[in-house]
Amino acid sequence: MPRKIYILDTNVLIHDPNALQRFDEHDVVLPIVVLEEMDHVKKGLDELARNVREVSRQLDELSQECGDLSKGCPLPGGGHLFFEMSNHAFDLLPDSLSKGSADNRIIAVAMSAQNDSPERQVILVSKDINLRIKARALGLKTEDYRSDQVVSDLSVLPSGKVRLDLETWEIMAENLEVLENNHGNHFVVTWPDDMALPFKNSFVILPGDREIAMRCNEINIDERRVHLLDILSHRTERHAVWGIQARNLEQNMAMNLLMDADLDLVSMMGLAGSGKTLLALAAGLHQTLDMGLYEKILVTRATVPMGQDIGFLPGTEREKLEPWMGAITDNLSILLGDEAQNIADILGQNRIEIAALSYARGRTFTKTWLIVDEAQNLTPHQMKTIVTRMGEDSKLIILGNNAQIDTPYLTAHTNGLTQAVSAFADWEFAGHIALKASERSRLAAKAVEVL
């Protein structure tokens, strides 16, 4: 089968600086207009500029080792990289498309490659939906860039819980072992062969009139033995954390993970109003101010606007971030009550810091309760940057909702939240829970359902 020819759009390289290594034995063509577009955004300290500079370094190394660029530069997968600089491609564009448009110039290069190599499949790769539509209208084959997908099917993303039906539980209960320890009843069950084993620190929900959730404390893969710890069925008002009590079973599970000092990472995915931020702050305040396990609480998030950007904001870093941290200050007002008069007093008195994601690089967070809010707007690279900054005696709390992604070119399949949940699902020092119910108000719950 002839090798394919892939024409790359600028956004592919910006989105994944290592994209050139993802095309196996096939050839890659880079229109010269892509280099021109990259040149416009290479300066700066943001993620976009850093990615562009990384791509430029790779292209420089490839071109230096290549010698004769007209014969193509060898790529790691066995294919070759070609730079397209000819002008005759513009003659193939219909008059209705402007020749001054960078997107149209990339389409023209794809049309030229298709004419010059009719025996090979030419594919234009772009994360720009409109560009792909225009190209298809002109008879070109197009694809979204899929090599950055963390998961191909969101249904396999861990939820942090397994709900057993009555028949399955009755079979498992026949060989049930009951142990007692200081933490409550400890059950050992044999897991059915036709069911995937749960992860450690996930939860098993037992059937009954009143659902009971037990936490998977230990997993014996070879014998398919699962140790379940009954630590959630007896929680009462005295178990409220900083005045906040779990309102449903899922919030109870989340609070159990947050309060476990042995876990280094807890991720929570949930719809708007499910209580992610409030639970994370309450648990953080309790363990920082009351228990002294951490020296400070640090909150960060990607500063991506939901609608039209309001432009640059004046002031210090804290003052610039205040509009982005409204969810944090709203929840702090609930937790601190009358004490929460202004943001400066709240943060200073309760050892809480807010920081822009841009300043995480190079830092090390020790004895820190670090909350990453709106993590669905982070790229996998940004998520890796944060996780690798975590020092000793710290805990990372990752919060997000894959239904509210505001970052261009990110999807639920490709963002940093999905990557973190998938990558740490089976790690013994991490826990994850998906929250489904909205507890903000009956109006918010109905909105989640119908809008």
| pLDDT of 236 | 47
Query: Of the ranges 114-123, 132-141, 208-217, which one carries the lowest mean pLDDT score?
Result: 208-217
User: H or E stretch including 7?
Assistant: strand 5-8
Residue 5 bridge partners (DSSP) = 27, 122
User: Are the CB atoms for 276 and 440 separated by under 8 Å?
Assistant: no
> Which tens digit of pLDDT belongs to each residue from 324-348?
566 777 788 788 775 655 556 666 6
d(CA 135, CA 138): 5
User: H or E stretch including 430?
Assistant: strand 430-435
CA 102-108-114 angle, to 5 degrees, is: 145
Which string of DSSP letters, residue by residue, matches 379-409? Answer: -HHHHHHHHTTB-TT-EEEEEE-TT---STT
d(CA 203, CA 224): 16
d(CA 434, CA 160): 6
- Angle between helix 32-40 and 102-116 (nearest 10): 160
- Sequence ranges of the chain with CATH classification 3.40.50.1010: 5-143
| pLDDT of 40 | 87
d(CA 317, CA 153): 39
d(CA 106, CA 74): 22
Class of the CATH domain delimited by 244-450? alpha beta
d(CA 118, CA 450): 50
Write out the two tokens for 386: 């944060």
Query: Of the ranges 11-25, 284-298, 300-314, which one carries the lowest mean pLDDT score?
Result: 300-314
Q: What percent of the chain has pLDDT over 90?
A: 44
User: How many CA atoms, within 13 angstroms, populate the side-chain half-sphere of residue 332?
Assistant: 25
167 by Cβ neighbours in 10 Å (0-12 / 13-18 / 19+) ranks as exposed
User: How many CA atoms, within 13 angstroms, populate the side-chain half-sphere of residue 75?
Assistant: 22
Query: Of the ranges 71-85, 86-100, 364-378, which one carries the lowest mean pLDDT score?
Result: 86-100
Q: Which of 265, 294, 221 is nearest to 428 (CA)?
A: 265
Torsion of CA 338, 342, 347, 349, to 10 degrees: -50
d(CA 292, CA 417): 29
Torsion of CA 89, 95, 101, 104, to 10 degrees: -50
d(CA 397, CA 284): 10
pTM of the model: 0.80
Per-residue confidence band for 239, with pLDDT thresholds at 50, 70 and 90? low
d(CA 436, CA 284): 22
- Sequence ranges of the chain with CATH classification 3.40.50.300: 244-450
Query: Of the ranges 4-8, 207-211, 335-339, which one carries the lowest mean pLDDT score?
Result: 335-339
CA 216-214-287 angle, to 5 degrees, is: 85
**5-143 carries CATH number 3.40.50.1010:** yes
Write out the two tokens for 102: 């960078």
According to DSSP H, which parts of 273-379 are helical? 276-285, 317-321, 326-336, 343-349
Write out the two tokens for 441: 């108000």
> Which tens digit of pLDDT belongs to each residue from 347-399?
666 788 877 776 666 789 999 999 999 999 998 888 998 999 999 999 999 99
| pLDDT of 305 | 43
CA torsion sign for 434, 248, 372, 48 is positive
d(CA 111, CA 451): 42
- Angle between helix 249-258 and 276-285 (nearest 10): 40
